[in-house]
Structure 1
Amino acid sequence: MTKRIASDAKPTSLLDPSQGGRCARMVVLAIGLLATMVGCQQPSPPGGTPTFVGLAKCASCHQKEADAYRGSDHALAMQPANDQTVQGDFANARFSHRGVTSTFFRRDRKFFVRTDGADGTLGEFEIAYTFGVKPLQQYLVSFTNGRLQALGIAWDTRPKAQGGQRWFHLYPAETLRPPDLLHWTGRDQTWNYQCAECHSTDLRKNYDVAQNRYATTSAESTVSCEACHGPGSAHVTWAERRKPGASRAAAGATGLVVRLGRVEGSWVMKDTQHGIAEWSGAPRSTAEVDACARCHARRRPIVDPYPYGRPFLDTHVPALLDPALYHADGRILEEVFEYGSFIQSRMFQHGVTCSDCHEPHGLGLRADGNGVCAQCHLTAKFDTPDHHHHKAGSDAARCVSCHMPARTYMVVDPRRDHSFQVPRPDLSVAIGTPNSCSGCHLDRPPGWVAERIVRWYGPASHARRPHFGPAIDAGRRGLLSAEKTLAALATDPDQPGIARATALAMLPEYLSPASLPAVETAIGAVDPLVRSTALAAIETLPPAERLRLAAPGLRDPVRAVRLAAAHALAGAPKQTLSVEQQADLDRALTELVASEMVNADRPEAHLNLANLYTRLGRLADAESELKTAIVLDPHFAPAMVNLADLSRAQGRDADGERFLEQALQVAPDSAEALHALGLLRVRQGRRGEAVGLLRRAAQQRPEVTRFAYVYAVALYGSGEAARAIAVLEEAHQRRPANRDVLTALATYLRERGDPKAALRYAELLATLAPGDREVQGLVASLRRQAGLQ
């Protein structure tokens, strides 16, 4: 379910790959378009490019797999609304939620809901499709301009004894009214953007930005065989030409675009003392994980149409361990699906793939209960009270209870964490993260649980493999240790790539000569996720440094890395680039623009393009993109704030003022708009108004230290030094490592005649910048003033 995510990002930030997490269950929702919207058989294009042939053709040879698939949640996920598919109560059933009473009824053998529409008034809407099977079923409504919208009221398909067979709201704690993005008519509930790519076969969004309408099509109205294996016409040709009785090896290449079959080899228990099987055979491919990641990840697509068979980061950019999505130790928080968790695991690092545990056609597990884990983990060692210290056969003795704790999303849908971590109550004590043990022992503090772990497994039980959680926590909280620990994590090859990339994404806030070598090292990492994030971390460096570090990335074989390199070098002085480098940059910039246009139906994409064009000096194009964003969403305040900033840069503060006032009309609590208008009032000499606006911005977003810092500077400039220092001290408590705040505190306290207090902050600043001569001079001066030298 999509939730409101408070982001630290300024309005100039890139479209967040963490957006778009609203699904009832990834193995449940397999969505496509029906015959009126679909061309199921596509003519073969010139040159013999493989085309889609459909389930029936695949089933003619692969009957066993097709039979398993037909009964799966994928096959039944999106269907036309009729007597056989609709599970909800449409017998004039009424459901009330926060002042709106919706009625579900039938007329002329069709299904309808009477509920609040885009204008806020009650209206009748025909149900076009069912969406999902279990544990809930949603319903889609067709709108003009080719879009489908998902109702926020769903049917609980669980048995009545389990609390099901009822209507319920997916946002029970929220009052949603248009134009709220989460209202069922809002853009965050639009199927074409939010759901369709993952849940159709060969989806073509076909969005026309000039007309703001969709002509979405797909090759087949389900997640069918070719959604995973790619277009099958070449495979069909191979099969038809294959001689009877010939082996696959004899026939050579099978024509499959994506090869997901198991490689030769098996998991072998080589060491019973260790008790965990090791792979024996040909090297395992990541092709299967990459194919599944397209839909089982919180991610942002960067290419259209989807090129089957490419590495995941050649087609998408996954979300990192964002605080709105994951706990600091990588455990799931928001609805993130499986990929971001699984790639944290040691299982992934040792070659385990999705189908080792999951049967890919029927979607069931390979075995019941602990039998899934027993495929590779010796039962005599792990499925015993000597290991789990609970009663055999109890729920607590299930492997998943400890190693795959579940969270419930969409009110009724529990999903398990796929990072397969060992319970770490010691981390709960240290950084406040949850742990499996405390999830059951609610009456016991984490310290009690941590003590039991030590008693059972010894004092070195958690020292075997240092965890990345404390470093991520330090970065999130702005601790004094953040730069050092994040730099160490970024270059630790034993840590998961997604954790290292997350550390790199945090480092720009702390980046100094001490941590820059870690970023340089990461740019050459094997993992493309690490490489791309490292390149994004250098954007604040001087142009010559950026060129030296990012230019090779323009030719990286992975698209996500090339995009990051292009973004880092956008606007670099042309005279500093060689002819070859300029050609590389031009190609990568073309890819970067195209990657944003994949989501041209989103105002955020046009905001991103405007920021890119601004850096390239194409101000007219930037302004055009921002205005397009506002056309797509008249309430999109970030575009108005950036238009104001663009106007200011061109000496048009009067225009900028109008844009900011417009932003505050549609979003009165926008901290960014309040902050920008406050700065404008400072330039206009209206200091009293400026201070009030900057105060409101800081109050709206206390987690954004920049707002508090600027507010404090304005207070100090207005003669309110004591209040300014108090604001800065509060900001320091929230982000101890913020250097601007420490500098201001040291400076203001010295000017106020308190060198001892100033020295305390200057010395903290010196620990963060040990080689900064200016800071060293400040410390020495304050020590003399305080009589300490």
Structure 2
Amino acid sequence: MSQGLLGFRFLVGLWALLVGADALAESFAGSESCKSCHETVYEQYERSGHPYKIQAVEGARPLYPSGTSPGVPHPPLGEDWKSISYVIGGFGWKARFMDAQGYILTGESRQYNLPNMALGLDAHWVAYGGDEPSRKPYTCGGCHTTGWESTGAAGPHQAGLPGIHGTWAEPGVTCEACHGASADHVTSPKEFKPTVEENCGTCHSRGDPSQIDAKGGLIRHHEQYEDLLASPHKPLGCGACHDPHKSTIYQAGGYLGADTTCKTCHQNIEIKLEAKKDVACQTCHMPHAVKSAVSTVVTYDGGSVPKGDLRTHIQRISTDPNWKMFTDDGAFVRVDDAGKAYLTLDYVCLSCHVDKDKEWAQSYAEKVH
């Protein structure tokens, strides 16, 4: 290859690096541009957790829509809002913080866990990334922002902050994070259509999609897609049960309800035990076996089981007393040779029936349907 051609390619690469962020931003219209035509959907989405995956701090605590998250009362110990550039999350479960240079704060009392009424836990601060004070670069924009471009330590950096190893078109998971860059659609709506293909699994997954990551006897957070792939509902998309524009918490209607989901397909399932007639399907088939921020331990007759702050999407229950839900090292959910995962009766039954034992749970579960 000639030196001239090499030089030309170098210049092209340098130009792309220097103007890449601007060119990217031009292809994104921004979520505000969607509002004029999609007002109802936009208002629903604004009350979900997606836009608040990362939120800029402008000298005061960030706010969330009325009737949703109470937010974070104050920044981590030793910090004030002027020394915080962004809050990560803060909607529903937990919040983490980025310093004035865009690095994520780590150490003791660096993560704020929101109150969880279901588990009976008040809001509290916990360590994040170890007990010693430190910080780490922000590389999570692929699932926290819209139009994320990873650039590494060399940059360019969003807002010129060296701790942010990338750039984005818009903070938070906004309309174009799922529907694609839509500047052309805004200017020519009939000629250019945004994608409506479901891609929830891009972010609601971790690592190898054939493995469900676990830790401490609970499934790790954002494993919903892996759960689904190992469940009986693998052929279904997330939209079969969820409205992606609505939150699943704060009574926002993100879950479509059993009448339009479970009961549509499982019309012939009969609940034979009178005491269980009014129990929702997800109570047993989607127990709180996932941890995002907090968990507790439930003690039953003869043992104990952890209870997390999220429901699992595995849904298939095993009554085999010898089946172990997790691998021996506890790092993954166990699957059979066909890749199917199973919930065990301690998570399904004994997290509620604390005065019973495993033998009772096995005989009882088989009588429900």
- Residue 137 of structure 1 and its aligned partner are, at CA, apart by 4.1
Alpha carbons 1:40, 1:54 under 8 Å: kept:
no
CA distance in structure 2 between the aligned counterparts of 1:454 and 1:375, rounded to whole angstroms? 20
| Secondary structure, counterpart of 2:55 in structure 1 | strand
CA 40–61 in structure 1, closer or farther in 2 if over 3 Å, else same = farther
Find the counterpart in structure 2 of residue 65 from structure 1: 41
Write the letter of the residue equivalent to 2:322: A
Match of 1:52 among 22, 28, 31: 28
Find the counterpart in structure 2 of residue 248 from structure 1: none
Match of 1:85 among 62, 67, 78: 62
Write the letter of the residue equivalent to 2:141: A
CA offset digits 1:86-113 (Å, max 9, x no partner): 64343xx9xxxxxxxx73565xxx45xx
Find the counterpart in structure 1 of residue 353 from structure 2: 441
TM-score by length of 2: 0.67
Alignment partner of 1:158 is 2:115:
yes
| Secondary structure, counterpart of 1:411 in structure 2 | strand
CA 71–161 in structure 1, closer or farther in 2 if over 3 Å, else same = closer
Find the counterpart in structure 1 of residue 134 from structure 2: 185
Alpha carbons 2:221, 2:292 under 8 Å: kept:
yes
- Residue 231 of structure 1 and its aligned partner are, at CA, apart by 1.0
Which structure is higher in strand share? 2
CA distance in structure 1 between the aligned counterparts of 2:40 and 2:287, rounded to whole angstroms? 33
**Within 5 Å, which residues of 2 pair with 1:344-359?**
344-349=230-235, 352-359=236-243
CA distance in structure 1 between the aligned counterparts of 2:111 and 2:254, rounded to whole angstroms? 31
| Secondary structure, counterpart of 1:361 in structure 2 | coil
Alignment partner of 1:333 is 2:310:
no
Find the counterpart in structure 2 of residue 718 from structure 1: none
Write the letter of the residue equivalent to 1:440: C
Alpha carbons 1:319, 1:340 under 8 Å: kept:
yes
CA offset digits 1:56-90 (Å, max 9, x no partner): 22223222221211222212342233445264343
Alignment partner of 1:232 is 2:182:
yes
Which structure is higher in helix share? 1
CA 442–425 in structure 1, closer or farther in 2 if over 3 Å, else same = farther
CA 456–131 in structure 1, closer or farther in 2 if over 3 Å, else same = closer
Match of 2:323 among 406, 431, 444: 431
Find the counterpart in structure 1 of residue 209 from structure 2: 318
Write the letter of the residue equivalent to 1:347: H
- Residue 406 of structure 1 and its aligned partner are, at CA, apart by 1.0
Gaps of 5+ in 1: 1-38, 94-101, 112-125, 179-183, 243-252, 261-287, 300-316, 458-789
Find the counterpart in structure 1 of residue 196 from structure 2: 259
Alpha carbons 2:228, 2:313 under 8 Å: kept:
yes
Find the counterpart in structure 2 of residue 417 from structure 1: 312
Alignment partner of 1:298 is 2:184:
no
CA offset digits 1:509-537 (Å, max 9, x no partner): xxxxxxxxxxxxxxxxxxxxxxxxxxxxx
- Residue 337 of structure 1 and its aligned partner are, at CA, apart by 2.1
CA 170–376 in structure 1, closer or farther in 2 if over 3 Å, else same = farther
Alignment partner of 1:149 is 2:105:
yes
- Residue 354 of structure 1 and its aligned partner are, at CA, apart by 1.1
CA distance in structure 1 between the aligned counterparts of 2:285 and 2:124, rounded to whole angstroms? 33
CA distance in structure 2 between the aligned counterparts of 1:76 and 1:169, rounded to whole angstroms? 21
CA offset digits 1:340-398 (Å, max 9, x no partner): 1001122222xx2112211111234456653353552456x44x642x653433xxx11
CA distance in structure 2 between the aligned counterparts of 1:40 and 1:371, rounded to whole angstroms? 48
Alpha carbons 1:134, 1:158 under 8 Å: kept:
no
CA 375–444 in structure 1, closer or farther in 2 if over 3 Å, else same = closer
Alignment partner of 1:392 is 2:265:
no
CA 444–353 in structure 1, closer or farther in 2 if over 3 Å, else same = same
Alignment partner of 1:222 is 2:106:
no
Match of 1:103 among 64, 69, 77: 77
Match of 2:258 among 336, 357, 370: 370
Write the letter of the residue equivalent to 2:152: Y
CA offset digits 1:202-229 (Å, max 9, x no partner): 1112114699975521011121111001
| Secondary structure, counterpart of 1:168 in structure 2 | strand
CA 209–80 in structure 1, closer or farther in 2 if over 3 Å, else same = closer
CA distance in structure 1 between the aligned counterparts of 2:271 and 2:192, rounded to whole angstroms? 48
CA 57–455 in structure 1, closer or farther in 2 if over 3 Å, else same = closer
CA 201–375 in structure 1, closer or farther in 2 if over 3 Å, else same = farther
CA 399–233 in structure 1, closer or farther in 2 if over 3 Å, else same = same
- Residue 40 of structure 1 and its aligned partner are, at CA, apart by 12
Alpha carbons 1:153, 1:170 under 8 Å: kept:
yes
Alignment partner of 1:202 is 2:160:
no
CA distance in structure 2 between the aligned counterparts of 1:326 and 1:228, rounded to whole angstroms? 32
Write the letter of the residue equivalent to 1:356: A
CA distance in structure 1 between the aligned counterparts of 2:122 and 2:354, rounded to whole angstroms? 30
Alpha carbons 1:325, 1:334 under 8 Å: kept:
yes
Find the counterpart in structure 1 of residue 95 from structure 2: 138
Write the letter of the residue equivalent to 1:259: V
TM-score by length of 1: 0.34
| Secondary structure, counterpart of 2:77 in structure 1 | strand
How many residue pairs match? The answer is: 300
| Secondary structure, counterpart of 1:410 in structure 2 | strand
CA offset digits 1:480-518 (Å, max 9, x no partner): xxxxxxxxxxxxxxxxxxxxxxxxxxxxxxxxxxxxxxx
Find the counterpart in structure 1 of residue 13 from structure 2: none
Find the counterpart in structure 1 of residue 284 from structure 2: 402
Alpha carbons 1:402, 1:437 under 8 Å: kept:
yes
CA 219–375 in structure 1, closer or farther in 2 if over 3 Å, else same = farther
Question: What percentage of aligned pairs have identical amino acids?
Answer: 22
Alpha carbons 1:79, 1:85 under 8 Å: kept:
yes
CA offset digits 1:317-344 (Å, max 9, x no partner): 536246x5698xxxx6333520110011
CA offset digits 1:286-343 (Å, max 9, x no partner): xx1xx111110012xxxxxxxxxxxxxxxxx536246x5698xxxx633352011001
Compute the RMSD of aligned alpha carbons.
3.9
CA distance in structure 2 between the aligned counterparts of 1:228 and 1:155, rounded to whole angstroms? 28
- Residue 445 of structure 1 and its aligned partner are, at CA, apart by 3.4
CA distance in structure 2 between the aligned counterparts of 1:238 and 1:333, rounded to whole angstroms? 44
The structure with the larger Rg is 1
**Within 5 Å, which residues of 2 pair with 1:661-700?**
none
CA 340–452 in structure 1, closer or farther in 2 if over 3 Å, else same = same
CA distance in structure 2 between the aligned counterparts of 1:345 and 1:165, rounded to whole angstroms? 33
| Secondary structure, counterpart of 1:226 in structure 2 | helix
Find the counterpart in structure 2 of residue 642 from structure 1: none
CA distance in structure 2 between the aligned counterparts of 1:162 and 1:442, rounded to whole angstroms? 15
| Secondary structure, counterpart of 2:261 in structure 1 | helix
CA distance in structure 2 between the aligned counterparts of 1:453 and 1:162, rounded to whole angstroms? 24
Find the counterpart in structure 2 of residue 781 from structure 1: none
Alpha carbons 2:242, 2:256 under 8 Å: kept:
no
CA offset digits 1:564-594 (Å, max 9, x no partner): xxxxxxxxxxxxxxxxxxxxxxxxxxxxxxx
Alignment partner of 1:75 is 2:31:
no
CA distance in structure 1 between the aligned counterparts of 2:228 and 2:35, rounded to whole angstroms? 31
Find the counterpart in structure 1 of residue 3 from structure 2: none
Alpha carbons 1:170, 1:411 under 8 Å: kept:
no
Which of the pair has the greater relative contact order for Cα pairs under 8 Å at 6+ separation? 2
CA distance in structure 2 between the aligned counterparts of 1:214 and 1:378, rounded to whole angstroms? 48
CA offset digits 1:639-672 (Å, max 9, x no partner): xxxxxxxxxxxxxxxxxxxxxxxxxxxxxxxxxx
